[in-house]
Amino acid sequence: MEKVFHLGLCIDDLKGAKLAIVPGDPDRAARISQFLDNPTCLAKTREFHVYLGELNGHSVVICSTGIGGPSTSIAVEELAQLGVHSFLRIGTTGAIQPHINEGDILISQASVRLDGASQHFAPLSYPAVSDFFATQAMVKACENLNIDFHIGITASSDTFYPGQERYDTHSGYVPKSLQGSCEEWQKLGVMNYEMESATLFTMCAALGLQAACVAGVLVNRTRQEIPNVDHSEIERKSVAVVLEAAKVLLAK
């Protein structure tokens, strides 16, 4: 069987898996794999670490994407070539609304397209929206697990510093077009910043794939910039939500 270009896998390697959990961090992919039955590592190439396991008797892929839209698009495209059609993103985030607390879970219903990669799949007038049923499964998972969550719009940026209007940088400079942007998103009710959901949502909607995204809040930027919370506890909650949602989608 022919292998896809970057992941170096062929369709038989995935054993019929139709759903993938896609964190950014390769180490997080490894940790998530341990929650599956019979986990095995399929590949480690660049930022893409791929694991296969079973959840309620179904094959499930876990594939890290690295940071940002371009590498996310590669992982999603190549997994789709291998038969995957549902993508559940799990990540971390900085909240920008005062009522959101560190440790809360954010479910992205849609994303502001501050990236560039999504424009290679659809024009900017095309919305970056999550799949209704996958997002609903995330909501139900949070409710069933009694985990505090918020659902709404995410600002999805190609850059961590200027695109998210951070001034604690080498130059301290943010281009004029981005100055005041954080306040604007706050006034428009945007919950948070992250770096992958706009690409994920746009390409999956355009290609007929299913996508949803949850992120654990590491810091609320209305109060501080540097996180000082227990990352492991936030990850535990996020993973629990994604696995619970995955069970619902796999049962359909």
> Is the predicted pLDDT of residue 1 greater than 80, yes or no?
no
Q: From CA 99, how far away is CA 206, in angstroms rounded?
A: 33
| pLDDT tens digits along 82-131 | 999 999 999 999 999 999 999 999 999 999 999 999 999 999 999 999 99
pLDDT mean across residues, the chain: 98
Mean pLDDT over residues 22-50, rounded?
Answer: 98
- For residue 12, pLDDT beyond 80: yes
Beta strands of 119-209 (E only): which ranges? 128-129, 149-157, 192-194
CA trace torsion 93, 58, 47, 75 (10° rounding): -90
Active site residue 6: yes
The answer to whether 221 is a known catalytic residue is yes
Catalytic residue among 49, 58, 78, 89: 78
Q: pLDDT tens digits, residue range 126-181?
A: 999 999 999 999 999 999 999 999 999 999 999 999 999 999 999 999 999 999 99
CA atoms within 13 Å, Cβ hemisphere of 155: 25
E strands, 96-227, in order: 105-114, 128-129, 149-157, 192-194, 210-220
Is 102 annotated as catalytic? no
Give the pLDDT of residue 252: 84
Mean pLDDT of 10-14: 98
Residue whose entry in the numeric block shows the structure tokens 């876990």:
62
Give me the percent of the chain exceeding a pLDDT of 90.
98
pLDDT for 93: 98
With 0-12 / 13-18 / 19 or more C-beta atoms within 10 angstroms meaning exposed / middle / buried, residue 133 is middle
Catalytic residue among 89, 165, 221, 244: 221
Of the pLDDT bands very low, low, confident and very high (cuts 50, 70, 90), residue 32 is very high
Percent of the chain with pLDDT over 70: 100
State residue 60's pLDDT score: 98
Query: Which one from 166, 194, 235, 244 is the annotated catalytic residue?
Result: 166
* Each residue's pLDDT tens digit, 174-200: 999 999 999 999 999 999 999 999 999
Tell me if residue 47 is catalytic. no
82 contacts 205 by C-beta, under 8 angstroms: no
